[in-house]
Structure 1
Amino acid sequence: MMAPGQTGSHVEGKVVDAKGNVVPRAMVELSPEHGHRRLAVTDSTGRFEFSRMLPGSYVLAVSAPSFQALSKTVKVTDAGSTFEIEMVPALSRKESVVVTADVNALDLLSPDPAEKVFVKQDLIDANPGRPGAPVSVPGYPIETASSGIKAPQYFAPGVAGDHGEPIAQFIAVGSYLLPNNLSANAHGNGYADPNLLIPSMIESVQVDGGAFNVREGNHAVNVAATYGLRSRVDPFASLTGDYRDIDLVAGMSPAAKSSVVVELSFGNGFLRRLEHRQQYKLNAQRTFDPGRHEITVLGIAYWGKSYIPGLTPVFADDTRDVGLLNYGDTIDPRQRDQTHTALVSANDVWRLSATQELQVSGFFRTYNLTLYSNFGDGLIRQSEFRTVAGQSTSYANKFSDALSVLAGLDWEREAPRRDNLDHYDDYTGQFVYGPFTKVDSSDVTITSVTPYGAVAGGLGSHFRYYGGWRRDQIDITNVDRINAGDSYQKWVGVNSPKATASFVPGDLRLLPLVSASFGEAFFTDDPRIALGSGAGSSVARSHNYQLVVSKTAAATDFKLTLGHVTTSSELAKIDPDTGLQEDQGPGRLEFLTAAVRQSFTGGSVLVTFSKADARDVQLGEPVPEAPRTIFDVLASLQRLPFGLQARGEFEFVGRKTLGTGCLPDVNAQCLGTAVKEFRGAVARPFLGERLNLGVNFLVAGGHTGQTLESFGGSDFAEVVGVRIPYYASVNVTWKFGGRAIQ
C-alpha cells in the first residue's frame, strides 16, 4: 500500500504507426495483476498518460481503428515509465474472425485458468449460421430450437445445461458480474437467455470453471460464461437476409466511452413451420470518469415473439404411436413463445489508491415469458412475470506481490409472480387453444445475502495461490395460489470454499503452467410443488476438482484440462407434462479436454476435443442428454485471393444417451443421433472498406434438443428433436465516415 503522501508513479507514452506517424484516438488499457483496468485515449499528438500507478507488472493493451490490437506485459518503475507503441495496420477492417486466448492471470478476479473469445466489431453476425445464439464458444455446444426467440440450450462436456441450471451466465458491467440466470423459471430452473444481447455489442466472452471463484455464485457449478460489452462502436448499419428472414442492426458511440446498438429482426426461420418472428433489441452502455471514480451504466431492452416448431420424432414413426401427425416439422402448430425484458445496471469503481479500490454495483430487471409447447402429452403453457434486483459491494487491496485481499457483500432478490403451468388438449386440426387445466400457479421469492472473501498472491517467482469462501444465506418462499397447504418458507445456508494453487514457469521456459483447483458450488432448486406430495430439495450442491496443464511451444498453445465433479441428489424441477418434481442424482462427472491453438500470419486455428462420462452414482446409468464427445475446429483466414476473408467452424457432438424406454429393448439406453455442423462466413470490403459484403452459411446434419417423449398415448419412448436445416444468408454492412467518439 502506498505510504501517506506518496503520489505513485507516472506512466506516459506515445502511439505511432510503422512510419512514425502519430495515432490519435487510440484506446490504451493498463491492467494490473488484480483490480480494475485503467483506460486512456491518445490525444491529437498520439500521447497518453496515467498517474498514481503502483510500481510493478502490468498488461498494456492498445487498440485503434484500422490497426491490429496490441497487448504486452510492461514494467512500471518507481521513477515512472515511458513507452512508445508502434501499431501494425490491420489486414482489413472486415475481419470475420473470432480470436481465442487463454486467460492465465490467476489473480483475485480470475483465479483459475479460463478461455476467452474476442469478437471483432466488424463481425456483425458473431455466430454465423446459428440464429438465437449471440456468439460461439469453441468446445461448448449451443442448441437452438428456433431462430432466436426461445433461449438456446448450453452444453459442456458431460453437462446437460437445461437452459443454464448448472451453467452460470454473467454480463460484465465495468467489473461487476451481473447475473443472467433466472431461478425457478416457468420453463426451466436457472433459465439463462442471452438473446437480450446484440452480437455486435459483444466484445468478448470468458469461460471458466465456475466453481472456483468466490464472485460467481448461484448456478456456477460446471461452467461460468461472462459476456464483456463494447465501450465504443464505430458507426455502422448492417442488413442480413435471405428469402425468409431479414435482420437490421445499427450502432454508434454518441459520446466518449459509450455505445448504442439496436436490432430489428423479422422472419420465418428455415423449417417448414413458419415462425412469423419479430424481435426488437436495444443495448446501450456509457462510462464516466469523475475524479477517482469510473462509473459504468448499462441499459437493455428486448421484446420478441414467434411460433416455434417444437420437438418431432427423429426416427421413423412407430406403429404403436396411434394418432401422431407431423404438420411439417411440428406436431402442434400452436406452439409459440413470447418474451420481453428490461434491465438497468450500474457499477462504480472508486480507486482509493494505487493499491486499493472499492466497488459499488447494482441492477434492476423485469422479465416476462409465455411459452406454449407440446412434448407429446398435449399442449402446455408455461408463463411468469418477475422482477429481479441486486446490489454488490466489494473492496480489494494489494498489500504486496505476496498478498492481495478481496472482501464483498452481495444481495439479490428474485420474485417471479404467477409462475404458472397449464395443460391444454392435443392439436386436432383446429387452430384454437380452448379450455385448459391449471396445474400450478405460484408466487416465488428467492432472496440471498452473501458475504465473501478471498486472498491471493505469489510465493516466489513461480508459485501462486488463491483461497476464498462465500456464505449464501438464502430465504426461499413459495406461495401456492391453488393449494394454500403447499405454501412454505425456508431459510437455507450454503458454504462454498474455493482454492487454487498454480505453478507459473516464467523464465523456466521448458516447463508448463500447472494449476489445480478445488471448489464447492450450488444452484437453487425450483421451490414449487405443483402435483407433488411435498417440498423438494432447496439447493443442489457440488464438489469440483480441476487440473489444468498448458504450454506454449513454437508459437503453438497446448492445453489439457481434467475435471471431476460430484453432485448431490435433488427432488425439484417440475416436469411440464406430469406436473411432478423430477428425482435427480447423486451424480459424478469426469471429463478431459485437450486444446491446440496455432496462430500464423493472416489467420489462426483452434482444435478442441473433449471426452466425458457423467453418471448417476446410485443407478450407475449415464446422465441423460449429457454430451460425451465434443470435437471442434475453429479457423480464420484473412488473406484469401481477391481480398476475401473467411471464418469457419466445424462442430461434432457424439450420440448422447437419453434414458430408457425405447423399442426394441425398453431396458437399454436410447441413443440419439450425432450432430455435425459446419458454419462459416466469407466477406470482402469495397469502397475503401466502407462497404462490406458477406455470406453466412450452415451445413449441418442431426437434430438439436434431443430428448425422449411419448406420443399418442404410447407406453414407449421415442427420440425427439428439432431438425437442423441447411441455409445461407447475405450480409451488407456500411461503415459511416466517422469513428467512435473518443
Structure 2
Amino acid sequence: MKKILFVLTLYGLLPVGAHAAGIPTLDEVAVTAKSTDQLGVAATSSEGTVTAEQLENRPLLRPAEVLEVVPGLIISQHSGDGKANQYYLRGFNLDHGTDFSTSLMGMPVNMPTHAHGQGYNDLNFLIPELVERVQYRKGTYYAGDGDFSAAGSARIDYVRKLDAPFAQMTLGGGGFSRLLAAASPTVNEGNLLIAAEGYHNDGPWTVPEHLRKDNLVVRYGQGQRDDGWVVSLLGYDAKWTATDQIAERAMATVGRYGTLDPSTGGDTHRYSLSGEWADAGADGASRANVYLIDYALNLWSNFTYATDTVHGDQFLQADKRTIVGAKASHNWLQDMHGIPVITTIGTDVRHDDIGVGLFSTQNRATWGTVRDDKVKQTSVSLWGETQLQWTEKFRSILGLRGDSYQFDVNSNTAANSGNKSDAIVSPKLSLVFGPWDQTEYYLNAGRGFHSNDARGITISVNPDPRPGTRPGCTGVAGECTGDAVDPVRPLVPATGYEVGVRSAILPGLQTSLTLWRLDIDSELVFVGDAGTTSASRPSRRQGVEWANYWNPVAWLLVDGDVSLSSARFTDSDPVGNRIPGAIEQAASVGVSLQESDPWSAGLRLRYFGPRPLIEDNSIRSKSSTLVNLMSGYKISKQVRLSLEVLNLLDTQVSDIDYYYESQLVGEASPVADIHSHPAEPRTLRLTLRVML
C-alpha cells in the first residue's frame, strides 16, 4: 500500500505546473553568505557556507557525498548503501557520525544510543536536488553546537520554492534507476513544496544489493527563511542486501565484489514532522523549530564470519525510537558605551524513547539475545554568545554552553539497568582581527563534548554469551557472561584550539589557512557490536587545512583543498601510539562549468591518503584517488540531458580498510588480516530532466 501511495504521489506531481566588514549590523546574524563571502561574518577560518549553485554540477555516487563540500571531509562505505556512511575528518575515523553532527531543516540526524554506533548519522534520505545550502563548522568554538560536534558540524537546508516544477529519470549501470519529481505551487500566499523519489540499485556486487528507497518531502510555508514559517513532512523507507567488508585472503575465492555472507543487509525508515519559525525585527531576531521523528532500523551484519563454527557470526542490531525535540534562540543588538554588542541566547531540548537490541542470527533468523534494552534519554541545553566589536578591526566572540543529560535504561539483564545523569559546561572564545586588505585573522579556543551510549553508562556485567567476546575467553559460549565491567563516562569533554587566516585579496579568489588541535580525554566506550565496553585512550589530533574557492568569471567555479592531520594517543603503551583508521591526508579539487547554454559540466578529483590500521603503524591502508565527471546538455528550454561518470578512471581501490581477526569457514582459528570494501568500478548514469 505504501508503494502504491508513493507512485500515485509521484505521478500526481507531473501536471503541476550581505556581508559587511568592520562594525556589524544585526542583519549579519541572519545573513547566509556564500563560501566566498565570509569576511566580517565568520568566527573562524574553517567555517563556510555552500550554496545550491555550487552543488549543481557536482557528481555524486551517494546522497551523503553532499557533505564532501566540507574541506577535508571524506565519505565512504563499508557495507550496503542503505546503511549510514563512514565519515573521515580532522584525524578522525568518525565511524558513522560520532563527533560530527548533522541536521536537516533544524532536525538532528545523529542518533545517540544507537543500535549500530553512537552518533549514527544516516543521510541516505537526503535528496540533493532540494538542498539550498550547507553551512559547515569545525571545532569546539560555537556555543550553538552541542553533542557530536567536536570535529565539526553541518546544517543542511532544503529549498522552500523551486524555480520551476520538474520531473527527472536516471538510468545507470548495475540496475540503477531513479525517478524524482518536484513542484512548488503557490497556495494561499504561501509555497507548497512537494517532492517524491523512487530509487533502485543492485550495484556491482556478486550478490545484487536490491536497494530500494522511497522518499517523500512535503513543505508548506510563508515568508522568508529569516522572517516566516514553514512546516515539513518527510517520509523515507529503504531495504537492501549488503556486501560487507571481506578479508583479503578470501578475495581470491569470492572475488573483489563478493561476499562471505549473502544474507546481511537491512531495512530502515524515518518519518518526521517539523516546524520552523523566524522573526526579524529592527532590534532583534528570533527563531525556533520543533520536530517529531519516528525511526527504525534492522541491520544484519557479519564482520568475522565463522568464529562460531555452528551458527556463524551474523548478528542483528535493531533500533526503534521516537524522538521529540525543540530549539529556540534570540539575538539582539546593543550599544555598550559606543561598542556594538550582539548577544544571542538559545536552548535545545531533545528526548529519545528507544527500543534497542543486539541479537545473534543466522541467515537473518534470530537464535540468541545478547542485549535487549528500553532506553529513555533526555538532554537539555542552555547557551549564550556575545560578540563585541571593540574597534573597526577587532571583534571578540565569547560563548558558554551548558548541557544536562538524563539516562534511564531498562535492560533484559537486570544488573545492567539503571538511571544516571550528567552535566557539562563548555566555554568558547574567538578573537577576530581585521580585515586588512580583505584579510582577516582568527584565534579560537573552546571546549566541546560527545555523549556515550546509555547502555554503557549503566552497565555492570558483560551480557554477551557469544564465544570469544572478551580477553581471556577460551571460546566456550557463555564462559565470559557475567564478568564485571566498568561503566562508561556519560559525557566526554574535548578541547580545541585553532589559528587561521582568510583572504580575498586576489580578485575572485577566497583562500583560508587553518592550524588546529583537538584533545580528547581517555574513556571507556560502548561497543555496539559486542554489547559491552572497551577502553579508549586519551588522544591528540592536530593538523593544517588549506581551502580555496575561485570564481574568475561568472560561468566558471574552481575549488580545491588540502588537509594534513596527525592523530596520536597521548599516554604510554607498548602497543604504539597511532590511532587505527585515523585520516592523515585528504585533498580534493573541482571544476564546475556553470550552465552556459547549452553545456554545463563538473569534474572532481578526491584523494584519500593512507591510514594506520594498528597502533604500531606497521600495517597501513593504501591511498586512493577517484575522479568523477558530470556533463550536461540543454536540449531545449524545458529539457536537459546529463551524464555522470563515477570513478572515471575505473581505479581499483578500497573504499575502506580495517585490520582485525576473522575466521573463514574451514579455518581452525581466527586469523588477523586486512578487511576491505572496494570502491565501486566505473559507473555511468544518464539523467533526463523535464521542466514543467
TM-score (norm 2): 0.84
Query: Does 1:229 pair with 2:167?
Result: no
Match of 1:251 among 170, 182, 191: 182
Match of 1:710 among 661, 664, 669: 661
The equivalent of 1:296 in structure 2 is 230
Identity %: 20
The letter for the 2-side match of 1:421 is L
The equivalent of 2:344 in structure 1 is 406
Task: From the superposition, tell whether residues 558 and 328 of structure 1 become closer, same or farther in structure 2 (CA, over 3 Å).
Answer: closer
SS of the counterpart of 1:565?
strand
The equivalent of 1:429 in structure 2 is none
Match of 1:680 among 608, 629, 647: 629
Query: Does 1:513 pair with 2:464?
Result: no
| 2:64–2:126 contact (8 Å) kept in structure 1 | no
SS of the counterpart of 1:546?
strand
- Tell me the distance in 2 between the aligned counterparts of 1:408 and 1:610: 33
Task: From the superposition, tell whether residues 299 and 57 of structure 1 become closer, same or farther in structure 2 (CA, over 3 Å).
Answer: closer
Shift of 1:102: 5.8
- Tell me the distance in 2 between the aligned counterparts of 1:389 and 1:127: 35
| 1:157–1:627 contact (8 Å) kept in structure 2 | yes
The equivalent of 2:85 in structure 1 is 152
Task: From the superposition, tell whether residues 718 and 600 of structure 1 become closer, same or farther in structure 2 (CA, over 3 Å).
Answer: same
Shift of 1:462: 0.9
The equivalent of 2:580 in structure 1 is 624
- Tell me the distance in 1 between the aligned counterparts of 2:261 and 2:333: 59
The letter for the 2-side match of 1:493 is A
Task: From the superposition, tell whether residues 104 and 148 of structure 1 become closer, same or farther in structure 2 (CA, over 3 Å).
Answer: farther
- Tell me the distance in 2 between the aligned counterparts of 1:564 and 1:122: 30
Task: From the superposition, tell whether residues 304 and 105 of structure 1 become closer, same or farther in structure 2 (CA, over 3 Å).
Answer: farther
- Tell me the distance in 1 between the aligned counterparts of 2:348 and 2:365: 45
SS of the counterpart of 1:196?
coil
Matches within 5 A, 1:473-552: 473-481=404-412, 483-505=413-435, 508-509=436-437, 512-528=439-455, 529=459, 530-531=463-464, 533-552=485-504
Shift of 1:211: 1.6
- Tell me the distance in 2 between the aligned counterparts of 1:58 and 1:672: 45
| 2:578–2:617 contact (8 Å) kept in structure 1 | no
Task: From the superposition, tell whether residues 260 and 716 of structure 1 become closer, same or farther in structure 2 (CA, over 3 Å).
Answer: same
The letter for the 1-side match of 2:390 is L
Shift of 1:59: 10
The equivalent of 1:41 in structure 2 is none
More helix by percentage: 2
Shift of 1:119: 2.3
The letter for the 2-side match of 1:686 is I
Shift of 1:178: 2.6
| 2:632–2:640 contact (8 Å) kept in structure 1 | no
| 2:604–2:627 contact (8 Å) kept in structure 1 | yes
Match of 2:126 among 180, 183, 197: 197
The letter for the 2-side match of 1:267 is N
Match of 1:559 among 506, 512, 516: 512
Match of 2:103 among 152, 155, 170: 170
The letter for the 1-side match of 2:261 is D
| 1:132–1:146 contact (8 Å) kept in structure 2 | no
The equivalent of 2:294 in structure 1 is 366
| 2:26–2:332 contact (8 Å) kept in structure 1 | no
Shift of 1:199: 0.9
| 1:209–1:222 contact (8 Å) kept in structure 2 | yes
Shift of 1:260: 2.0
Query: Does 1:725 pair with 2:654?
Result: no
Shift of 1:537: 1.6
Task: From the superposition, tell whether residues 503 and 235 of structure 1 become closer, same or farther in structure 2 (CA, over 3 Å).
Answer: same
Matches within 5 A, 1:107-506: 113-120=46-53, 123=56, 127-130=59-62, 133-137=65-69, 138-145=71-78, 148-172=81-105, 177-233=106-162, 234-243=164-173, 244-255=175-186, 256-289=190-223, 294-314=228-248, 328-351=257-280, 353-377=281-305, 378-400=313-335, 402-417=340-355, 419-425=356-362, 432-481=363-412, 483-505=413-435
The letter for the 2-side match of 1:155 is Y
The RMSD of aligned alpha carbons is 2.9
Shift of 1:207: 1.4
Task: From the superposition, tell whether residues 314 and 644 of structure 1 become closer, same or farther in structure 2 (CA, over 3 Å).
Answer: farther
- Tell me the distance in 1 between the aligned counterparts of 2:405 and 2:672: 38
- Tell me the distance in 2 between the aligned counterparts of 1:281 and 1:474: 33
Task: From the superposition, tell whether residues 228 and 103 of structure 1 become closer, same or farther in structure 2 (CA, over 3 Å).
Answer: farther
SS of the counterpart of 2:415?
helix
- Tell me the distance in 2 between the aligned counterparts of 1:131 and 1:698: 16
Task: From the superposition, tell whether residues 101 and 299 of structure 1 become closer, same or farther in structure 2 (CA, over 3 Å).
Answer: farther
Task: From the superposition, tell whether residues 56 and 135 of structure 1 become closer, same or farther in structure 2 (CA, over 3 Å).
Answer: closer
| 1:706–1:721 contact (8 Å) kept in structure 2 | yes
Task: From the superposition, tell whether residues 668 and 295 of structure 1 become closer, same or farther in structure 2 (CA, over 3 Å).
Answer: closer
Task: From the superposition, tell whether residues 685 and 315 of structure 1 become closer, same or farther in structure 2 (CA, over 3 Å).
Answer: farther
- Tell me the distance in 1 between the aligned counterparts of 2:333 and 2:691: 44
Matches within 5 A, 1:96-107: 101=36, 103-106=38-41
- Tell me the distance in 1 between the aligned counterparts of 2:26 and 2:492: 42
Match of 2:652 among 675, 679, 701: 701
- Tell me the distance in 2 between the aligned counterparts of 1:653 and 1:546: 23
**Deviations 1:121-177 (CA, angstroms, capped at 9, x unpaired):** 993x854234664453242110024563111111112011111111111223xxxx4
The equivalent of 2:613 in structure 1 is 658
**Deviations 1:229-275 (CA, angstroms, capped at 9, x unpaired):** 11212211111112411011111102244422211001211222201
Task: From the superposition, tell whether residues 526 and 258 of structure 1 become closer, same or farther in structure 2 (CA, over 3 Å).
Answer: same
| 2:348–2:382 contact (8 Å) kept in structure 1 | yes
SS of the counterpart of 1:136?
helix
**Deviations 1:183-205 (CA, angstroms, capped at 9, x unpaired):** 01101111011112211111121
- Tell me the distance in 1 between the aligned counterparts of 2:217 and 2:45: 30
The letter for the 1-side match of 2:38 is V
**Deviations 1:535-567 (CA, angstroms, capped at 9, x unpaired):** 222122100111121222332222111111000
The letter for the 1-side match of 2:161 is R
SS of the counterpart of 1:391?
strand
- Tell me the distance in 1 between the aligned counterparts of 2:26 and 2:212: 52
Which consecutive unaligned segments of at least 5 residues does structure 1 have? 1-29, 35-53, 62-70, 73-98, 319-323, 426-431, 661-666, 738-742
**Deviations 1:630-683 (CA, angstroms, capped at 9, x unpaired):** 11111112489x9432111111111111115xxxxxx65321121221112011
Task: From the superposition, tell whether residues 192 and 622 of structure 1 become closer, same or farther in structure 2 (CA, over 3 Å).
Answer: same
| 2:297–2:320 contact (8 Å) kept in structure 1 | yes
Worse-matched range after superposition: 720-729 or 440-449: 720-729
| 1:146–1:269 contact (8 Å) kept in structure 2 | no
Task: From the superposition, tell whether residues 196 and 595 of structure 1 become closer, same or farther in structure 2 (CA, over 3 Å).
Answer: same
Shift of 1:526: 1.0
SS of the counterpart of 1:120?
helix
- Tell me the distance in 2 between the aligned counterparts of 1:57 and 1:424: 56
Shift of 1:395: 2.0
Task: From the superposition, tell whether residues 563 and 264 of structure 1 become closer, same or farther in structure 2 (CA, over 3 Å).
Answer: same
| 1:131–1:148 contact (8 Å) kept in structure 2 | no
| 1:648–1:681 contact (8 Å) kept in structure 2 | yes
| 2:141–2:444 contact (8 Å) kept in structure 1 | yes
Which consecutive unaligned segments of at least 5 residues does structure 2 have? 1-17, 306-312, 465-483
Shift of 1:500: 0.6
The letter for the 2-side match of 1:626 is A
| 1:382–1:422 contact (8 Å) kept in structure 2 | yes
